[in-house]
Structure 1
């Protein structure tokens, strides 16, 4: 494993998780390998600069590592997060700075050139692990409402992606082998035309789902891993329900379970239910096409991918209203 920099005559050994190394190289190629070669030095140097000492093993998510640390001055716990340099990770610290701990972990330090942050340490247990059903959806809606504050200038506006969304939807519908009825794709396109191009300047998480909400002490639950967009808070209702759809597959009455999830989220988030439904439908249509092009992190190919795509197709159709007779 790579080694970190020397301190006081000793060499700090940084063990990068093997699964993280493998998936980063598979996804990013040579640029990923080059970043991984630099990562031990970054992880070894930044805690010292920010007055911290390591306090646990290196953890990881999909695109970054997280190192538990303890601040030397007061013994307070924190985490060092270093992400792969990617446009999607640029505005994460900006979002944390605006929230100031409201519904999300506190930002204590940042190094934008290295895509690194020192963050408040929350628990390691996620909402996905500790809750299900109405409780999971209600907590996510409450977090959504906490995070919905005015967005500052400089953050990417979701409305700026509308043209690309429409172009990709039309291209996928025509070029991919799929089972989505035309009226389902038509509704997704209508949502882009009617909702996506005229969105408020509200700060939204951008990737809100139950694994990005952690049990915490300062507040019961805190969000992590935001994208930091400005747009419609109901957009995040769509991301939540898209991710939650896999859990809904086991419901005895799937249409009823979907309706209940929409009701609970919209009420908890204080959002218009119809807007949440329409964003969720768009997200699921996009996911159905994305999965056919790239697969998903949990399944790149094979029977499991087929099952997820079948579920996405069914839920996209179920969320389309009104159904043609």
Structure 2
């Protein structure tokens, strides 16, 4: 949970973002490591207050952009954001690895609360994909929450990311939220599993990640998301995500 508000510093139009520690410190560390051509810039931050002073991008996001264009832009950004983990040289702040951030424990907790949402095949595939992350040697960052509404144009017309939830690990993790907007899942379902895989192929090609890995992590995240939405009472969305999980389960 964060609070974001527009502010001014002299003639500069900026944004002030306040969020809990240590999330604020991790975000500031990641933003300062990301290339300015691909990410909003963090101009200053205050650890104790959990405050980040950010440049102000335009309100225009990728929401509603055609799928192939949106996927291409986001996959390219994901690839450019894969910079060396800056927390390796920072004793005070550590950015967690995807393999060690409690995903599997979280999944088991969701399954306990919503045991009948997904097939055993879907759940087993997700468990395997998450467990296999322990063998991922990646030592670079991934955005952690890349989707169309977290990509905005800057004042020069270039696309850049905002609001990272940084992790250390493969950028294939982003495939699930990049290939389709939640409010357009019905379009993807109508197009069928072949279109789902085609979009993942496009993501993997542009992001330069193994297609198999992108598919497996997309499937695992669809499982987690379906369970979460079912618990929240979002039955239709949970069913759509369960379709995605089943379509990619092996």
The corresponding residue for 1:230 is 168
**Alignment partner of 1:141 is 2:79:** no
Matches within 5 A, 1:152-301: 152=86, 153=88, 154-161=94-101, 164-218=102-156, 220-241=158-179, 244-251=181-188, 252-293=190-231, 295=232, 301=233
Match of 2:30 among 95, 109, 113: 95
Q: Alpha-carbon deviations, 1:160-188, whole Å to 9, x = none? A: 12xx3323334443552423111111111
The corresponding residue for 2:57 is 122
Distance 2:120 2:194 in 1: 24
Q: Relative to 1, partners in 2 of residues 1:267 and 1:160: Cα closer, same or farther, differing over 3 Å?
A: same
Matches within 5 A, 1:56-95: 63-69=2-8, 71-72=9-10, 75-83=11-19, 85-95=20-30
- CA root-mean-square deviation: 2.0
Of structures 1 and 2, the one scoring higher in RCO (CA 8 A, sep 6+) is 2
Please tell me whether the aligned partners of residues 246 and 311 of structure 1 are also in contact (alpha carbons under 8 angstroms).
no
Please tell me whether the aligned partners of residues 106 and 119 of structure 1 are also in contact (alpha carbons under 8 angstroms).
yes
Please tell me whether the aligned partners of residues 172 and 214 of structure 2 are also in contact (alpha carbons under 8 angstroms).
yes
Matches within 5 A, 1:27-38: none
The corresponding residue for 1:111 is 46
Please tell me whether the aligned partners of residues 6 and 15 of structure 2 are also in contact (alpha carbons under 8 angstroms).
yes
Match of 2:238 among 309, 316, 324: 309
Q: Alpha-carbon deviations, 1:63-94, whole Å to 9, x = none? A: 2222142x31xx233222223x2544441111
Distance 1:125 1:215 in 2: 6
Q: Relative to 1, partners in 2 of residues 1:158 and 1:179: Cα closer, same or farther, differing over 3 Å?
A: closer
Q: Report the count of equivalent residues.
A: 243
Distance 1:155 1:165 in 2: 15
Q: Relative to 1, partners in 2 of residues 1:120 and 1:174: Cα closer, same or farther, differing over 3 Å?
A: closer
Q: Relative to 1, partners in 2 of residues 1:244 and 1:197: Cα closer, same or farther, differing over 3 Å?
A: farther
Indicate the SS of the match to 1:91: helix
Indicate the SS of the match to 2:226: helix
Indicate the SS of the match to 2:52: strand
| Aligned-pair CA distance for 1:117 | 1.4
Q: Relative to 1, partners in 2 of residues 1:201 and 1:213: Cα closer, same or farther, differing over 3 Å?
A: same
Q: TM-score, normalised by structure 1?
A: 0.69
Unaligned runs of 5+ residues in structure 1 are: 1-61, 296-300
Please tell me whether the aligned partners of residues 179 and 313 of structure 1 are also in contact (alpha carbons under 8 angstroms).
yes
Q: Alpha-carbon deviations, 1:34-91, whole Å to 9, x = none? A: xxxxxxxxxxxxxxxxxxxxxxxxxxxx62222142x31xx233222223x2544441
Distance 1:260 1:237 in 2: 12
The corresponding residue for 1:132 is 66
Unaligned runs of 5+ residues in structure 2 are: 89-93
